[in-house]
Structure 1
Amino acid sequence: MSTATLDTATTVADPGLVATIVAFIQDGGLFMYPILVVLAVGLGITLERIIYLQSVKGRNRKVWAEIFPLLTKAQFRQAMEAVRENDTGIARVIGYGLERARTSRRHEDVELAMEEGLMEVLPRLETRTGYIATLANIATLLGLLGTILGLIAAFTAVASADPAQKADLLSASISVAMNTTAFGLITAIPLLLAHAFINSMTSKIVDSMEMASVKFINVYRLAISQQEQRKPDAE
């Protein structure tokens, strides 16, 4: 037999990765398909959240680079006009602070206004993130339920089987039943890691907005202090 013939025979004999995965899902029974749906939904939410948060991070950075020089020069009116044209989180937070600064000179009031703005921004950052952890738990529970029902069916089938075949039949049935637990864990573990990663991204964005708020408060207090120092000189 030639080498080419041997290679062809090996290729035909090897079902391939895709065929192995398909066989694994089919052997696991009915509960493999709900777990597959959970995996698809979880990955979809994960991808959407990562893209959104990366976009928010980039836009926040761009807006802050635009308005911070205006704030340091105490050009609060120009900064207000700049944030009005943006719907980014950092623009909303700073916008609340600038709006309050027009009616109150107390930095505590400005700080509270920015905290209010941050509270409005947070739900947009955390939307659907909690679903990922929930889907991971659902996948694990579906896997366990599928295994339990598979074992019940296996023991029921073994009870009426030929005694000589019981051991082989039971071991094969248990092996198939365990597929759902394995697939549930295969689904849950990446989703939990994705949930932790997205939470970390969200926390970094929130931290950056809080840092921007602190910088704005410092700039605002300095501007107020300088204005108060000029008054005696003018008198």
Structure 2
Amino acid sequence: MFEIIQSGGWMMVPIILCSVLALAICGERFATLRISKIAPPDLLAQVWAWMKNKQLNADRIRELQETSSLGRVLAAGLVNSRHGRQIMKESIQEVASHEIHDMERYLNALGTIAAVAPLMGLLGTVFGMIQVFTEIMTQGTGQSGALAGGISEALITTAAGLIVAIPALICHRILQRRVDEIVVFMEQEAIKLVDVLHGDREVVDSAEAAR
């Protein structure tokens, strides 16, 4: 393996660095972007239960803020509910925008790696072909070993760039889709909270509220 990497030339160094960075980002984001951690499905039902039992106080709201991103969004709405529907929605949107920014952390870097890695592989290919033609110009076509080395460098860097880019692109799409799904769910839960607190919707029971 080391011989193959060495044969790829110096362009293998940034490609390998990109692969390590992409792996670290994917591991961290897949561990972080768990729906059960960011937006627990039963959290709104828990809020309804607190409201029904008249247990919704400052301590409960503080507990809600510490649970998850959805908890912080709902807590922002509850704190500002007495100021009217519009202020409540604005406070929810403000907190939600911050939470979405946190969820999308490092995804741009992952997308950049997916786009740049093939280009670095292509650049390595160009360098390899330049080496081939330089050898042809100086020594002719009789030095097959030197020509094979340049061609090998070109092929290895191209393959390495694609090996890094393809999984990075797939993970980027999966993670972006997961963020979108979480955001939609958080929006739905926040709308339910606003509608109920301002009389546009009634809660039949906790199970229905959770749905």
Counterpart residue identity of residue 210, structure 1 = E
User: Taking structure 1 as reference, are residues 204 and 74 closer, same or farther at Cα in structure 2, changes over 3 Å only?
Assistant: farther
Return the match for 2:14 from 34, 40, 51.
Answer: 34
Identity of aligned residues (%): 29
Query: 8 Å contact 1:74–1:220 — kept in the other structure?
Result: no
Q: State the secondary structure of the residue aligned to 1:78.
A: coil
Aligned pairs for 1:195-234 within 5 A: 195-222=172-199
Computing the radius of gyration from Cα coordinates, the structure with the larger value is 1
Q: How many pairs were matched up?
A: 199
TM-score with structure 1 setting the length: 0.75
Distance in structure 2 (CA, Å) of the matches to 1:67 and 1:112 = 20
Equivalent position amino acid for 2:33 in 1: L
| Greater helix proportion | 1
Q: Within the alignment, does 1:141 sit opposite 2:119 as a pair?
A: yes
Structure 2 distance, partners of 1:107, 1:188, is 46
2:136 to 144, 152, 158: 158
State how far apart, in whole Å, the 2-side matches of 1:208 and 1:136 are: 28
TM-score for the superposition, normalised by structure 2: 0.82
Distance 1:29-1:224 versus aligned 2 partners, 3 A rule: closer
Q: Counterpart in 2 of 1:6? A: none
User: What corresponds to 1:58 in structure 2?
Assistant: 37
User: Cα gap change, 1:171/1:89 in structure 2, threshold over 3 Å: closer, same or farther?
Assistant: same
User: Which structure is higher in RCO with an 8 Å CA cutoff and minimum separation 6?
Assistant: 2
1:177 Cα deviation from its structure 2 partner: 1.3
Measure how far apart 1:81 and its partner are.
3.2
Instruction: Give SS of 1:187's match.
Output: helix
Q: Deviations over 1:171-195 (max 9, x none)?
A: 5532431211111011011101111
Contact 1:50 1:198 in 2 (8 A): yes
Q: Which residue of 2 aligns with 1:178?
A: 155
Give the counterpart letter for 1:58 in structure 2: K
Q: Which residue of 1 aligns with 2:209?
A: none
SS of equivalent residue, structure 1 residue 222 = coil
1:26 alignment partner, SS class = helix
- Closer/same/farther in 2, CA of residues 189 and 59 from structure 1, 3 Å limit: closer
CA separation of 1:114 and 1:157: change in aligned 2, threshold 3 A: same
4+ residue runs over 3 A deviation: 62-65, 166-172
Aligned to 1:117: 95
